[in-house]
Structure formats: structure tokens, C-alpha cells
Amino acid sequence: MTRSAMAFLFVGLLTGFSAGLFGIGGALIGTPLLRIIGQLPPLLALATPLPVAIPSAVSGALAYWRRGLVDRVLAGRTLRIAVPMTILGSALTHWTPGTVLMVITALVLVYVAVSMIRRESATGGGDVPASSVRVTIAAGIAGFAAGFLAIGGGIVLVPVYVRWLGVPMHRALATSLVCVAAMAIPGTLVHAMLGHIAWDAAGLVALTAIPASWLGARLALRLSGRTLELSYGILLAAFGLWFLVRSLATQ
């Protein structure tokens, strides 16, 4: 097996495990990993994780679904707004320089990581009203980010569900994974039409990402919500800062 194939398999392990453990679909860290480890050009590194996000997110969500943790009403209200915004964001990448997309990806990583580390334990929870304006705002942001940065949208949805809506952490993770899988479909179609997906690399990533996602979700169910948040924030902050420096250095 070639070194590049091994690199893509390793990327799959990391992205799949994070998808199940943190509910972020794996695409956000998949982009910098494919750029640095897989040596893919920026636009290919950006969009190649998207098709992998579909089966890996479903695999991770199944572990939550069996325990009744997916909020189907919240998922439905999210996707009604998020899907068309995903299509818009995906199309706009055609006119955006690849280096700019890499830097923005790193900045999003750091911002979300810091916000999760600083967050105090949420109170409340339960069902979120379907008519909530906050659901609409969150869905629009997540959908656009899912297309423009090809990040699945979970990196936006998880902190918004928890911080804005008071959804318990495990329920937020479960609902996010369902939305990630759904948003990845139109995002994948648009990016594929634009020639932004390396299908051979995506296939290798998927081989290890799918089982790793299931393992990550199983581990998440054994940890407390706050433990997950702190782990999520600290790891993403360190990774985001590293990738930001690398992206700026290549300009």
C-alpha cells in the first residue's frame, strides 16, 4: 500500500472518530488533515471529506437514535433552512481563493473551540419550540458554512443548540449528526459538479471513518456532557491554531 493511501486511511480514522465523539461530522478537521497529511490542493482538501460525512454521520447517529436522543422536530426545522443555504455556500466557493478558504476554516475552528471552553453548564433543555427564531438563524449559518467551508455544519449546530437553545449535550450531538448527514448530500452534489472532490481519496477515508465514527459515538455516551465540551474545545483550539499558522505560512 502506498504512503498516500495510508495517509488517507489515517485521516479517515481521525475524522470518523471525531464525528461520533463530538458530532462535527469530521469534515472540519478532515480539510486541514487532507491538506497537510494528504497533500491535496486547497479546494480538493475542502470538499473531499463531504461525501464521507454522509455514511460516517449516519453511522455515529445510529448509536444515539437507538436511545431516543435525536430531536426530530429540531432536525426538521433546521434542515428546512439549512439545505438551500448549503447549496448557496457551495456555489460561492467557485469564486473564492483556496488559501482564503483554508484560513477561514482555521479561524472557525479556533472561535468555536474557545466558545465551548468558556461556556458555563447550560440549564434547561427539553424540546425547542419549532417556531424559534434562533433555530432559523442557526440553520442558516450552519447551512451556509456546510457549503462554503464544506464542514458538515455540526461545528456550528452543536454549540448553537447547547448555548442558544439549552439542548442537553448528548441530544445536541445526536441531532447535529442527523443534520450533518442531510446537509452533506446537496453540498457533495454541488462541489462534485465544480470538480472539488478527489473521489479516490474520499473512498479511502470512508473505509476507516465509518467504523471509527461508531466507536466515537459509543465513547461519547459514556462521558458527561461537560467532559465532552471541554475535550471538544481544547482539541479544536490547538488544532485550529496549528492549521492557521500553517495556512498563513504557505501564502
Every domain of the chain and the residues it spans: 3-249
- Which stretches in the chain have pLDDT values below 70? 1, 22-27, 56-57, 60, 116, 119-131, 224-225, 251
Q: Using CB atoms within 10 Å of the CB of residue 197, give its burial: 0 to 12 exposed, 13 to 18 middle, 19+ buried.
A: buried
Cell of 24: 462535527
Tell me the pLDDT tens digit for each residue of 57-116: 677 677 777 888 889 889 999 999 999 999 999 999 999 999 899 999 889 878 877 876
DSSP structural state of residue 93: G
Structure confidence at residue 204 (pLDDT): 93
Q: Using CB atoms within 10 Å of the CB of residue 3, give its burial: 0 to 12 exposed, 13 to 18 middle, 19+ buried.
A: exposed
Longest dimension (CA), the chain: 52
Structure confidence at residue 125 (pLDDT): 47
- Tell me the residue length of the chain: 251
- Which residues contact residue 158 at a Cβ distance below 8 angstroms, ignoring those fewer than 6 apart? 22, 23, 24, 172, 173, 176, 232
CA distance 192 to 182: 16
Cell of 157: 449546530
Cell of 115: 466558545
Structure confidence at residue 40 (pLDDT): 93
How far is C-alpha 175 from the geometric centre of its chain's CA atoms? Answer: 13
Structure confidence at residue 96 (pLDDT): 93
Residue type, 57: A
CA distance 249 to 7: 22
CA distance 250 to 163: 35
Structure confidence at residue 119 (pLDDT): 62
CA distance 198 to 174: 28
